[in-house]
Structure 1
Amino acid sequence: MTKDQWLSVRKQIPDGAREPWTVMLWVADLLLLAVAWNLWLADSTALQLLGLALAGLATVQLYLIMHEATHGAASANRRFNDFIGHCNGWLIALPFLVRRRFHMAHHTWTAHPLNDPENRGMIERFSVMTKKQERTLEFVWKHWIPMIAANHFLLNWRAPFIAKAKGDSSPRILKEIRFARLYLAGYLAAAVLAWSLGHLLDLVLFYLITWVFLFFMVELLNLPHHAEAPLLARDADRLQFWEQDGVSHDCKSLPLWSRFVILNFNLHIVHHAFPSVPWYRLAKVQKLLGEHELGHAPSQTHEWEFAVKNRRRPLLQLMGHFFDQRG
């Protein structure tokens, strides 16, 4: 993609949330989660399973709407946008402020081995891994155990505390720590309320099952978009938005699934080119790029096909050869 092509599309697509669709979907997902909880408390196994299915759908979309909020695309009102981000972050146990800091760095420094926190974390992990740890990692990968997502969530919790322990007492880090503690206080209050109503065990089981499913979905949705993409040199400058189509991938669109379940998250090239454009405009951006003969290749696979194919391959073969520094 050239700068002129990028600018041509940029002029035709407004930034940010100009319509209420994301907020409306957010409210619907909160209501769906409440319905799912009530079904979980039913005596019928069939209703409980239906409740888990609805909770899984709602939670995945809350994660995706939180992603919208990290880009300021959930609501035109900044405070309300951040409230949505914090609310969803609390519900799925992913601190919003840390997630936003890491994710913005990922967009700014996509494909950089050091400044992109996603790449830096992989390099640090693979470069110190023993053969035994490698075998464990491959076992986890091939058996669809979502430890990559679990570690990602855990890192977002630990990051500000690690930074403070290393001497970073900047206002940003202290604010992230305050909100992390506020989240924890909220979990304690929810647990006390559930215990007082006699539903603490119900809440724990409901939450854990839904959370594990979310981890599975986070890996399913995120891994295809940068796997086997080349890394930049360590001293490279950051890529401009119109240059990032070479280091990110789209997934093939599937009817209903792509637009209404995963909110066009598969259109990752256009998202990296125009990160503040909300999910419901990405298809239009894709169409405009198509007029320039840009966009995803016809051979692109969808998320499920990518997972089925690549879970059979060694993880280090899929993406570790860019990170493994052991020689």
Structure 2
Amino acid sequence: MTKDQWLAARQQIPDGAKEPWTAMLWLADLLLLTLAWNLWLADSLVLKVPGLLLAGFATVQIYLILHEALHGAAAQNRRLNDFIGHCSGWLIALPFLVRRRFHMAHHTWTAHPLNDPENRGMIEKFSVMTKKQERTLEFIWKHWIPMIAANHFLLNWRAPFIARAKGDDSPRLLKEIRFARLYLLGYLALAAVAWSQGHLLDLLLFYLIVWVFLFFMVELLNLPHHAEAPLLAKDAERLQFWEQDQVSHDCKSLPVWSRFVILNFNLHIVHHAFPSVPWYRLPEVNRLLHEQEVGHEPSQVHEWAFARENRRRPLLQLMGHFFDRRG
């Protein structure tokens, strides 16, 4: 993609959130989650199973709407956007402020080995891994255990406290820690209410099942977009938005699934080129670029086929050769 092609599309696509569709979808997902909880409390297994299915669907979309809020694309009003972000982050245990800081750095420094926190974290893990840990990692990968996503969530909780312990007392970091503590107080309050109603164990089991499913989906949706993309040199300048199609991939669109379940998350090239454009406008941006005959590689297979094919390969072969520095 050239800068002129990027600018031509940029002029035709409004920036940020101009319509209320994401906020309305978020409210609908909250209602679905409430319905799912009530079905889970029913005595009948016939109702519990659809309750879990509804909860899984709603939680995946809440994760994706959190992603919209990271880019300021969940609502036109900044306070409402951040409110949606914090509530979504609290529901899925992913701190909004820390996640926003990491994710914005990922977009700014995509494919950089040090300044992209996604790459930096992988390099730090791979470079100290023993052979035994490598075998454990490959076992986890081939058996579809979503440990990569679990570690990703955990890192977002630990990062501000680790930085504080190293002496960072910046206002931004202290704000992240305050909100993390508020999240924890919210969980304690929710547990107390559930315990008083005699449903604490129900809540813990419900949340555990849905959370593991979410981890599975996070890996399914995120891993294809930068797998086997080369890293930049350590001293490289950051890629401009119109250059990031070199290091990101699309996934093939599937009817219903791509637009109405994962909210066009598969259109990752246009998302990196226009990160503040909301999910419901990404197909239009994609169409505009194709009309200009932008010469990026055709879409990969869809997410399910990517996972099915690549879970059979060693993880180090798929992406680790970019990160493993032990040699």
Is the TM-score greater than 0.5? yes
Point out 4+ residue stretches in structure 1 off by more than 2 angstroms.
294-299
The equivalent residue for 2:10 is 10
8 Å CA contact retained: 1:269, 1:295: no
CA distance in 2 between partners of 1:299 and 1:160 (Å)? 37
8 Å CA contact retained: 1:249, 1:296: no
Question: What one-letter code is carried by the residue in structure 2 that aligns with 1:116?
Answer: D
The equivalent residue for 2:273 is 273
The equivalent residue for 2:152 is 152
Question: What one-letter code is carried by the residue in structure 1 that aligns with 2:228?
Answer: E
Question: What one-letter code is carried by the residue in structure 2 that aligns with 1:171?
Answer: P
**Superposition deviation, residue 46 in structure 1:** 1.5
CA distance in 2 between partners of 1:134 and 1:298 (Å)? 33
The equivalent residue for 1:122 is 122
8 Å CA contact retained: 1:225, 1:249: yes
CA distance in 2 between partners of 1:24 and 1:221 (Å)? 23
**Superposition deviation, residue 297 in structure 1:** 3.9
The equivalent residue for 1:74 is 74
The equivalent residue for 1:325 is 325
**CA gap 1:296/1:302 in 2 versus in 1, 3 angstroms:** farther
**Superposition deviation, residue 292 in structure 1:** 1.6
Question: What one-letter code is carried by the residue in structure 2 that aligns with 1:213?
Answer: F
The equivalent residue for 2:211 is 211
8 Å CA contact retained: 2:245, 2:296: no
Moved more, 285-294 or 181-190: 285-294
Q: Tell me the alpha carbon deviations over residues 245-267 of structure 1, each in whole angstroms, 9 at most, x when there is no partner.
A: 00000000000000000000000
8 Å CA contact retained: 1:61, 1:261: yes
8 Å CA contact retained: 1:251, 1:296: no
CA distance in 1 between partners of 2:247 and 2:90 (Å)? 31
Moved more, 291-300 or 238-247: 291-300
The equivalent residue for 2:44 is 44
CA RMSD of aligned residues (A): 0.7
Question: What one-letter code is carried by the residue in structure 2 that aligns with 1:100?
Answer: R
**Superposition deviation, residue 295 in structure 1:** 6.7
CA distance in 2 between partners of 1:75 and 1:177 (Å)? 25
CA distance in 2 between partners of 1:233 and 1:298 (Å)? 26
CA distance in 1 between partners of 2:166 and 2:260 (Å)? 43
CA distance in 2 between partners of 1:210 and 1:157 (Å)? 19
Q: In structure 1, the residue corresponding to 2:290 is in which secondary structure?
A: helix
8 Å CA contact retained: 2:251, 2:303: yes
The equivalent residue for 2:29 is 29
8 Å CA contact retained: 1:60, 1:214: yes
Q: Tell me the alpha carbon deviations over residues 221-242 of structure 1, each in whole angstroms, 9 at most, x when there is no partner.
A: 0000000000000000000000
CA distance in 2 between partners of 1:284 and 1:4 (Å)? 18
CA distance in 2 between partners of 1:33 and 1:288 (Å)? 36
Q: In structure 2, the residue corresponding to 1:11 is in which secondary structure?
A: helix
The equivalent residue for 1:100 is 100
8 Å CA contact retained: 1:68, 1:74: yes
The equivalent residue for 2:170 is 170
Moved more, 298-307 or 83-92: 298-307
Question: What one-letter code is carried by the residue in structure 1 that aligns with 2:313?
Answer: R
Alignment of 1:221-240 (within 5 A): 221-240=221-240
CA distance in 1 between partners of 2:299 and 2:288 (Å)? 20
8 Å CA contact retained: 1:33, 1:58: yes
**Superposition deviation, residue 299 in structure 1:** 5.7
Whether 1:247 aligns to 2:251 is: no
Q: Tell me the alpha carbon deviations over residues 15-49 of structure 1, each in whole angstroms, 9 at most, x when there is no partner.
A: 11101110110000000000000000011101100
TM-score after normalising by structure 2: 0.99
Query: How many residues of Structure 1 are paired with residues of Structure 2 in the alignment?
Result: 327
Q: Tell me the alpha carbon deviations over residues 92-131 of structure 1, each in whole angstroms, 9 at most, x when there is no partner.
A: 0000000000000000000000000000000000000000
CA distance in 2 between partners of 1:298 and 1:246 (Å)? 12
8 Å CA contact retained: 2:126, 2:325: yes
The equivalent residue for 1:57 is 57
CA distance in 2 between partners of 1:241 and 1:321 (Å)? 26
CA distance in 2 between partners of 1:178 and 1:46 (Å)? 42
The equivalent residue for 2:257 is 257
8 Å CA contact retained: 1:270, 1:295: no
What stretches of structure 2 of length at least 5 have no aligned partner?
Answer: none
What stretches of structure 1 of length at least 5 have no aligned partner?
Answer: none
The equivalent residue for 2:132 is 132
CA distance in 2 between partners of 1:104 and 1:298 (Å)? 26
The equivalent residue for 2:196 is 196
TM-score after normalising by structure 1: 0.99
Alignment of 1:299-318 (within 5 A): 300-318=300-318
Q: Tell me the alpha carbon deviations over residues 126-157 of structure 1, each in whole angstroms, 9 at most, x when there is no partner.
A: 00000000000000000000000000000000
8 Å CA contact retained: 1:250, 1:296: no
CA distance in 2 between partners of 1:243 and 1:81 (Å)? 28
